[in-house]
Structure 1
Amino acid sequence: MCKMAIVYYSSTGTNYKLCQAAAEGAKEAGAEVRLARVAELAPEAAIASNPAWKAHMEATKDVPVVKLEDLEWADAILFSTPTRFGNMAAQMKQFLDTTGGLWFQGKLANKVVSAMTSASNPHGGHEATILSLYTTMYHWGAIVVAPGYTDPILFQSGGNPYGTSVTAKDNGEIDDTVLAAARHQAKRMVTIAKKLNG
């Protein structure tokens, strides 16, 4: 059975919802899934000043915090992070910076990896953020499996071939086409990982 880790950072819930959809897709494709969040680094005062952020933190407090063992365990790893000035969020970067030991031992090589993201406007750095994540993956020697245009849902959901991305809405809702794209992306990862580990 393919093992997939889905690792995310989400302040107000958008990336969490993307990952829930991806987890559904991975399970439908026959994968065992671990959903985990990276640790929050922001000060309590910052979180408390944003009601949506505070509510999401409380709602997801029982989601496990990712461990390096989750990456080692997985055949495929899907990352999701909001964009921060066209880069991944600092919380995700901090976690990735702890993977040096696994990288040095070659334990991240040949893992199937992919990424998703969100931003508050359509041109807020979606593609650049995903590419910033992939830079780390290239150093690992991982195998980046982008969704490309392997299904019509990619066009319908906004047309990002690098990974599913969404423009976050104030009400927190995500269009069904975007959730379907996240499911497809995860299924594609499972399919490729099964072929590689066949």
Structure 2
Amino acid sequence: MPAKVYIIIYSLYHHIYTLAQEVQKGLVSAGVDAKIFQVPETLSDEILTKMHAPPKPDVPVITVADLSEADGFLFGIPTRFGTMPAQIKAFLDSTGGLWASGALAGKFAGTFFSTASQHGGQETTAFTTVTYFAHHGMIYVPLGFSNPHLFDNSEVIGGSPYGAGTVANGDGSRQVTNKEKEIAVTQGENFGKIISTYVKGKTAA
């Protein structure tokens, strides 16, 4: 039975969703059963309309109960002032019951990001998300510099050793580039190989 990874996102303007699709490609290429979910929205339709938000991605909304089904998770997080948005935080804050039972201990987790600017907090968002993983006893898997595009200084390229990323501009006008997509595929492939090896070993034992 293949390892199961849930890609859990919040994507107001679809930049994170675009990255999630590339991450999913990488996971599938590594033999992983990978599904994309989105966290519940906390903003009203009125506010979303005023923000000119497009329709939500056509993926299911995750529940806390769903988390116990997967072997690992990759969280797609658009930053808000250098940390996760309220929607992601509200979802993670609701996992207290799983923490109390240790249901997520030993599962794997990773992160990828979208910011308005090059210095919008892709790394600080990782730092402030890892605390949740630590409290649950989850195993954080960083990307590292495993894709050569992360060494490319000839143009704006999102991402860091903590995960793939994109830079969207303040108005969301910049779209995910091919290099950023390739980094996301690499993250999916690497995460998939690690979790597949663990699951196979666990099954064999």
TM-score w.r.t. the length of structure 1 is 0.92
1:89-137: CA deviation from partner (whole Å, max 9, x where unpaired): 1000000011111121111111111001111111011111122111111
Q: 1:191: Cα distance to partner? A: 1.0
2:107 to 107, 111, 116: 111
Match of 1:49 in 2: 50
Q: Map of 1:144-183 to 2, 5 A cutoff?
A: 144-156=140-152, 157-158=157-158, 160-169=160-169, 170-183=172-185
Match of 1:74 in 2: 70
Contact 1:76 1:189 in 2 (8 A): no
Partner SS for 1:101: helix
State the alpha-carbon separation in 1 of the partners of residues 23 and 48 from structure 2. 26
State the alpha-carbon separation in 2 of the partners of residues 159 and 182 from structure 1. 9
Q: 1:74: Cα distance to partner? A: 1.0
Gaps of 5+ in 2: none
Partner SS for 1:79: strand
State the alpha-carbon separation in 1 of the partners of residues 174 and 76 from structure 2. 16
Q: CA RMSD in A?
A: 1.5
1:12-64: CA deviation from partner (whole Å, max 9, x where unpaired): 1111111111111111111111210001101222111122x1x232xx2x410
2:123 to 120, 124, 127: 127
Q: 1:164: Cα distance to partner? A: 1.1
Q: 1:138: Cα distance to partner? A: 0.9
Match of 1:63 in 2: 59
TM-score w.r.t. the length of structure 2 is 0.89
Letter of the structure 2 residue corresponding to residue 64 of structure 1: P
1:124-183: CA deviation from partner (whole Å, max 9, x where unpaired): 111111221111111111110001112323334446101112111433521111111111
Among the aligned pairs, what percent are the same residue? 35
Contact 1:41 1:91 in 2 (8 A): yes
Q: Map of 1:131-142 to 2, 5 A cutoff?
A: 131-142=127-138
Contact 2:113 2:159 in 1 (8 A): no
Match of 1:190 in 2: 192
Gaps of 5+ in 1: none
Runs (4+) of structure 1 moved beyond 6 Å? none
